Amino acid sequence: MPILDQEPSKTEGDGDDLPKLPLPNLQDTLDIYLRCVKHLLTKEQFSRTQNIVKQFGVPGGEGELLQRKLVERREKTANWVYDFWLNDMYLNNRLALPVNSSPAMVFPQQNFRLPIDYLRFAAHLLSGVLEYKTLLDAHALPIDYAQGQLAGTPLCMEQYYRLFTSYRLPGPERDTLVAQESTVMPEPEHVIVACKNQFFVLDVVMNFRRLNERDLLTQLDKILKMAENEEERQPPIGLLTSNGRTEWAEARSFLMRESTNRDSLDMIERCLCLVCLDEASGPQLSDTTCAAMMLHGGGAAKNGGNRWYDKPMQFVVGADGCCGVVCEHSPFEGIVLVQCTEYLLKYMTGSPSKLVRAASLSELPAPRRLRWKFLPEIQKLISSSAEKLERLVKNLDMNVHKFYDYGKEFIKKQKMSPDAYVQVALQLAFYRCHGRPVSTYESASIRRFQQGRVDNIRSATPEALAFVKAMTEGKLSSGDTEKMELLQEAINAQTKYTILTITGKAIDNHLLGLREIAQEMKMEKPEIFKDEAYLISNQFILSTSQVPTTVEMFCCYGPVVPNGYGVCYNPQSDHIIFSVSSFHESPLTCSADFVRCLVQGLLDMRDLCNRCKHGSDSAEQRNGQMPEMHSHTKTSDKTPQRKSGQTKSQPASPQVLVRSSEQKIQTKKPS
């Protein structure tokens, strides 16, 4: 298989005719960088950073030298940042994939009444996958066009062609993204079905014909029966893929010593995708439990071993109706994943199952169980992988909240960008919970350019900070008119940064390029990248992403730092779905508190817009008092702040809730 972690190979729909990603001007990036970090640093830190940045940018200095090298690189490559970005974002990351890296889409909960129902669902879904694969093979997917801001430009399609053809191979220091060569003649194709932690090869092309839904059901039924045979059962080897990448690479090299294992690994690495037939997971299903189950499988005792995390697409079908897709993120972004899964769900609702009665009776050869030869080292590594996964399961603090009070139509009526508005609401929520701003990541697509992936909208703008302070610190001087002006300024700043990013002029990819090219040139690391400010600005305590859907489902993922939040949101016309994650082990975070602050902020922002629209800036409101709120969203406690020592059921009323490591919860009284 060719290596994909350098330059992806060319296929039709790659977007060769799209413009190349621009290289921002050095001085512009340095100015924006200073503006982005100033309010996140102390005065002393900032003054030091200012000097370092000035030194880096002096005429004839390090910055200009590195910039010239990037200019040359841009001329020679289709996308100057692609491989730097891929390594930095994914392949160099040693953390375990579940929760830390792999996002998931959660389907609407299914109601399977009979055991056969869930096999039928899986067969129907798989038949949709094969149909979609036919479209991909024929390069028949319509080109995507940008929507929302600067709508209408064509987008690079190459990510789609990696959905079913790539594999993330673990390495001792860096992983490798590998891809199967596309061939003119259709190759025999197979999927891997995971059931009771066993892996089975299901050939989906036989005698040059793709299996139909009926055949697929027959084969899945055989797999279920084979998996039930306890005598044949093999240890839960899939758990190894849930471990840290270096540990998994080590385990894989042990496995590779035996030819049986090499053959089995080869079958998994070359499959189209996995179908994970999960057992019922125990607790009563809710959006939150389903999201957690998709992200980690519930650990070794549940479905955690019924996965192979290196494979980009794992379709999970749970006997209890908890279904979705878990994705290895390095080959593509969530938006491409959504397009594919929406196709599948529409296929399933638009073309009713063709299985009228029982499954096919035709004599298809039985699927094969993958065999493994276990060395004592492997048994130990499976046990340690199980322990690590268990810790991750216990650690994940997931909270999915459907906010029903309004959606993007209300925001559009205020003549504001819904995405910018939600980002400002997230800044308000964080400030309310923690009393300070933090470096924030919002992914923005740069697919307008050749091989474009994403860059970062730094949503913690100084304008957002001014607004959230006015909303939370209850200053006597902040009346509605002033708050509304600050809200407008925050939204404008956010929208401006969005446009900067989607047009390829943001700073994160540029700074990464400068840092990496210095390393490639074997230069000593420039001071700007050793500076504390750079580290602080890259600790994304708030990691956010808009993943909108047109079909009922939602996306979720974990936080990217131990003391942070992962917030994925899906704005709909009249409601917004938020998936908030954090880690229980951090004394600083709590997903339920964050959601409560978020809900309160969204309601406050709506009320502010309504009051200002109706021209009522009464003396009472000028004094910072909130009018009564009416909410459709069920929250146990409208004011989310808690005093130190208070239990969750006791409401409190300060405007800002601060968590610190010394004291689990501190409250900061309104000034």
Residues at the site binding ligand COA, with contacts judged by CB under 6 A = 147-149, 333-335, 412, 415-419, 443-445, 454, 498, 502, 545-547
Say how far apart CA 324 and CA 313 lie, in whole Å. Answer: 10
* CA nearest to 289, candidates 194, 397, 196: 397
Least separation in angstroms between CB 260 and ligand COA: 37
Q: Tell me which residue has tokens 């929760």.
A: 99
Closer by beta carbon to ligand COA, 120 or else 453: 453
**Residue 195: half-sphere exposure toward Cβ, Cα within 13 Å:** 27
Nearer to ligand COA among residue 381 and residue 502 (C-beta): 502
User: CA 282, CA 296: separation in Å to the nearest integer?
Assistant: 14
Smallest distance from ligand COA to CB 398, Å: 18
Nearer to ligand COA, 119 or 556 (CB): 556
The radius of gyration of the chain's CA atoms, rounded to the nearest angstrom, is 26
Give the pair of three-digit tokens for residue 105. 């889409």
Q: Say how far apart CA 80 and CA 507 lie, in whole Å.
A: 14
Nearest to ligand COA of 401, 408 (CB atom)? 408
Quick one: 303 or 330, whose CB is closer to ligand COA? 330
The nearest distance, CB 655 to ligand COA, in angstroms, is: 28
Tokens read off for 543: 């990691």
Closer of 189 and 508 to ligand COA (Cβ): 508
CA distances from 634 to 142, 473, 486, 629, 656 (A): 41, 25, 29, 13, 21
**How far is Cα 193 from Cα 370, in angstroms, rounded to an integer?**
10
Amino acid at 425: A
Closest separation in Å from C-beta 153 to ligand COA: 11
Place of tokens 């629209």: 613
Beta strands in 60-197 (DSSP E): 104-106, 166-169, 176-179, 190-195
Burial of 493 (0-12, 13-18, 19+ CB in 10 A): buried
Q: Which is nearer to ligand COA, 287 or 419 (CB)?
A: 419
Nearest-approach distance from CB 334 to ligand COA, in angstroms: 3
In terms of Cβ atoms closer than 10 Å to its own Cβ (0-12, 13-18, 19+), residue 38 is: middle
The sign of the dihedral angle between the CA atoms of 348, 350, 355, 356 is positive
What does the DSSP assignment read for 574-594? S-EEEEEEEETT-TT--HHHH
- φ/ψ of 17, rounded to 5, equals -85, -5
Closest listed residue to residue 398, CA positions, set 631, 600, 555 = 555
State the minimum distance, in angstroms, from the CB of residue 502 to ligand COA: 5
47 contact partners, CB below 8 Å, separation of at least 6: none
* Cα 248 from Cα 271, distance rounded (Å): 19
> Minimum distance from CB of 162 to ligand COA (Å)?
14
Name the pairing type of β-strands 176-179 and 576-583: unpaired
H or E, element range at 400 = strand 396-403
Choice between 334 and 624, CB closer to ligand COA: 334
> Could you tell me the end-to-end alpha-carbon distance of the chain, in angstroms, rounded to an integer?
62
Q: Smallest gap, in angstroms, from Cβ of residue 328 to ligand COA?
A: 12
158 or 247: whose CB is closer to ligand COA? 158
Q: Which is nearer to ligand COA, 334 or 437 (CB)?
A: 334
> Catalytic: which of 296, 329, 575, 584?
329
Q: How far, CA to CA in Å, does 469 sit from each of 22, 436, 478, 670?
A: 36, 9, 10, 10
Q: Which residue is nearest to ligand COA (CB)?
A: 148
Secondary structure, 3-state, 283-330: CCCCHHHHHHHHHHCCCCCCCCCCCCCCCCEEEEEECCCCEEEEECCC
Cβ-based nearer residue to ligand COA, 105 or 470: 105
- Taking the complex as a whole, the smallest distance from the CB of residue 559 to ligand COA amounts, in Å, to 15
Q: Which of 417, 428, 444 is nearest to 507 (CA)?
A: 444
| Shortest spacing between CB 103 and ligand COA, in angstroms | 6
124 is catalytic: no
Least distance in Å: CB of 418 to ligand COA?
A: 4
Question: Which residues participate in catalysis according to the annotation?
Answer: 329
